[in-house]
Chains A and B, each alone.
Chain A
Amino acid sequence: MTEANGANSEVICATAPEGVLAELTHRCPLQCPYCSNPLDMDRAANELNTEEWIDVFRQAAELGVLQVHLSGGEPTVRRDLEEIVGKCAEFGLYSNLITAGVTLTRERLEGLAAVGLDHVQLSIQDVDAANADRISSYKRGLEKKIQLAKWVRELDMPLTINAPIHRQNIDNLEKIIDFSVALGASRLEVAHVQYYGWAFVNRAALIPTHQQALWSVDVVERAKERLKGIMTFDLVVPDYYAKTPKPCMGGWGRRFLNVTPTGKVLPCHAAETIPGLQFDNVRERPLLDIWLNSSAFEAFRGTDWMAEPCRSCELREVDWGGCRCQAFAFTGDARNTDPACGKSSLHKELVALANEEAGKPAPPFVYRRIRSDVAERKSAQESPAET
């Protein structure tokens, strides 16, 4: 620790994460069945308090972090958000607010802009209001989101629309693009749902067919051309149908860290799904020390942990073996190659499962709720091969 804070600080900064994903709370009025929060969510009483969060961001800035993504749950349910954003600006951190947009008033948004919020990312469930209500299990969310988007633009803040894509809204993709242009978004994330956590539980209700997935990629490619200079796109493909895996988090412990509402520091937001990892907490250990030395960060950092076919693969420092959480969720061992990779022995099985589920009628959603019966769903998640 002393070494980390002292003589080697220049070296340390050179390997610092670029971004921090801060899950300020797991509380959220929406109940989307693909939520990236863990099945077992943190209660409000255990959340880091204002001073603790501010200290996290102070440490992050000191160690060389450039951007913070203020997320949740719904981060705006924290009444101290303005104070936190103000401190981020003071520390020189670029701040992105990741919101569902149903709780902010114009006054609060103005307050956030005034203290230096840089960017708003607004999630939508669909452009069909009734379907959006059904997906989020929240009434009349869309009109509130439209209102928020207007305010964001009136305040001349940049707006990103984030649209998680799945079989129950994919047919509206072209409308989602037009909707985002009309709202004045400068960026649209067409984010095919990634299947871990809640989305893993709900996979059969969410996964599109291969045909639909290919169509969506084509729609985005055409829209990119048409909307050049007007709106940029981030396309997250459904990796079950990919040939190579995504470079998840830009590589484990390389570019990002995630802080949970209660202060646990994770290499990615889903890392807690991997059993056996020990996560350190900002309440007990300095952020820099955690980043450099925490066993959870060391577990899959770099390439030393890799087995074949990753170990000798020429892409090992391009995709870093893909997603550890998906490797565990599907193969039972997080050290395995991500089954999204064509070189994985389980890739064919993954694709077959996806096609089979996508070809059947969608089962009802298991909504994201803080409930006591998560253990049941957890066990469902941990034995995917039998489902």
Chain B
Amino acid sequence: MGDGADRRRVIIERGSVPNLPRYVKLRHDKGRDRWVLLAPERILTPNAVAVDVVRRCDGKRSVEAIACELAEEYDAAVEDIIADIIEMLQDLADKGYIRA
């Protein structure tokens, strides 16, 4: 057993490349017609925007790339949405549901 001192908080930045760990699962909950993120003893219900972000967390796209894609899709400016995306991913990372 180590002393745990090597464990660090993941900080999400524009250049971060987020991914969903294997044990976090995005599923469509048909009965309740909603998307859910299944995690250890937790069920999160992300909103539509969050689902669009999380689906792109594939370990290949950077936060900036994700923001660019969504800016195009929503017809918004990248700078208008990137801060919100970072905040959301940081929150998910703090709960252990996103790695980067």
Contact = CB atoms under 8 A, between A and B. Distances in A.
A183 B1 contact: yes
A191 B29 CA distance: 29
Interface string A324-361: 00000000000000000000000000000000000000
Majority secondary structure, B binding face:
loop
A304 interface: no
B94 interface: yes
Given A66-B36, A182-B3, A230-B8, A160 B29 contact: no
Contacts of A96: 40-41
Interface in B27-78: 27, 29-33, 36, 38-41, 43
Interface residues of B, number: 29
B85 interface: no
B29 A121 contact: no
Contacts of A181: 4, 7
A157 B3 CA distance: 19
Given A18-B43, A160-B40, A228 B96 contact: no
Contacts of A13: 30-32
A385 to B, nearest CB: 35
A64 interface: yes
A156 B19 CA distance: 15
A309 interface: no
B83 interface: no
Interface residues of A, number: 37
A157 B23 contact: yes
A217 interface: no
A92 B30 CA distance: 12
Contacts of B27: 66, 92
Interface in A29-79: 63-64, 66-67, 69
A16 interface: yes
Interface in A176-223: 178, 181-184, 186-187
Interface of B: 1-4, 7-11, 21-23, 25, 27, 29-33, 36, 38-41, 43, 93-96
Given A184-B2, A184-B4, 6 more contacts: A18-B43, A118-B38, A119-B23, A160-B40, A186-B40, A230-B9
Interface of A: 10, 12-14, 16, 18-19, 63-64, 66-67, 69, 92, 94, 96, 118-119, 121, 146, 149-150, 156-158, 160, 178, 181-184, 186-187, 228-232
26 contacts: A14-B33, A63-B31, A64-B32, A66-B29, A66-B43, A67-B38, A67-B43, A69-B41, A96-B41, A118-B23, A118-B25, A118-B38, A121-B40, A149-B1, A158-B39, A158-B40, A181-B7, A182-B1, A182-B3, A183-B4, A184-B2, A184-B4, A184-B7, A187-B96, A229-B93, A229-B94
